[in-house]
């Protein structure tokens, strides 16, 4: 990978000849390690690129992004040298919004349409409720995010870690809560939406509204669990996701063979 790609993406397994790259974007306050265990469950020819946002891990000294648009722009730029291989994107919670914007940028700037966009634990952008948690005092803010249920948020109960992680989480919440999507903007790749049936942060109808953000196909899958259902349902989630990726690659190959045969016949 290039220097920019190395800064933005983590690879937890060597993939010598990938047929597809799966770009994963974490939730607010999250890091690429949220996807560390995914690498061993994905097919050997699928390369996992787990995104590291500015301001965390080895990018701790970098300033936080000022907007979802700026964050998406950084991801899209870092992906530019990796577009020689088909890609798909997966984003959870805030990551779903970032993935949606990255998908649009790749198409608009580079003419690259990801095979599929997977969004998880997130209302459709135009259906998001406007909140202001990032502007509240620390105690009230922490009380709200504790209700989400992720084991990855356990560090907020460690006084030694809280001082480091709280600014990161609040900065991400500011991005999401100040994000104003273009309601007319649509992607041209199929969208699959995932949600937990006990997710108090997402209404099923608002998740289903992702269907209005694409001109291609749409599917929704509901799993048992809360906002972080994917931690308990990882095998089932990845089996479903991988099934789509395999089908997309087969379709792409078939289209390529048909186009090649047509060109040969025309010649």
Active site residues: 93, 227
Q: Measured between alpha carbons, how far is 97 from 58 in angstroms, rounded to an integer?
A: 24
Angle in degrees, 0-180, between the axes of helices 138-145 and 159-177, rounded to the nearest 10: 80
Contacts of residue 102, defined as CB under 8 A and 6 or more positions apart, other chains included, come to: 23, 25, 72, 75, 76, 79, 89
Q: Which helix (H) or strand (E) holds 88?
A: strand 87-92
Distances (CA, A) of 29 to 5, 17, 109, 128, 175: 21, 32, 28, 19, 11
Radius of gyration of the chain (CA): 18
Q: Measured between alpha carbons, how far is 110 from 119 in angstroms, rounded to an integer?
A: 22
Question: What DSSP string runs through 61-87?
Answer: TSPPPSSHHHHHHHHHHHHGGGTTS-E
């Amino acid at each position: 990978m290039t220097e920019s790609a190395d800064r933005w993406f983590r690879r937890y397994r060597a993939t010598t000849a990938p047929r597809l790259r799966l770009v994963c974007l974490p939730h607010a306050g999250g890091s690429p390690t949220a996807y560390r265990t995914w690498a061993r469950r994905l097919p050997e020819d699928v390369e996992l690129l787990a995104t590291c946002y500015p301001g965390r891990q080895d990018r701790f000294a970098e300033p936080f992004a000022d907007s979802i648009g700026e964050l998406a722009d950084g991801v899209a730029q870092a992906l530019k040298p990796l577009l020689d291989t088909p890609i798909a994107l997966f984003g959870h919670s805030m990551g779903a919004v970032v993935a949606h914007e990255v998908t649009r940028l790749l198409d608009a700037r580079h003419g690259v349409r990801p095979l599929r966009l997977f969004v998880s634990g997130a209302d459709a952008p135009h259906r998001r409720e406007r909140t202001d948690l990032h502007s509240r005092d620390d105690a009230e803010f922490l009380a709200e995010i504790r209700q989400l249920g992720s084991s990855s948020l356990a560090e907020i109960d460690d006084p030694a870690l809280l001082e480091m992680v709280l600014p990161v989480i609040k900065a991400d919440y500011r991005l999401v809560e100040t994000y104003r999507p273009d309601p007319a903007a649509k992607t041209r790749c199929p969208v699959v939406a995932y949600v937990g049936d006990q997710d108090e942060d997402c209404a099923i109808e608002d998740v289903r509204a992702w269907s209005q953000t694409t001109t291609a196909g749409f599917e929704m899958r509901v799993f048992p669990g809360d906002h972080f259902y994917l931690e308990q349902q990882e095998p089932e989630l990845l089996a479903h996701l991988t099934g789509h990726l395999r089908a997309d690659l087969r379709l792409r190959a078939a289209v390529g063979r048909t186009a090649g045969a047509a060109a040969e016949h025309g010649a």
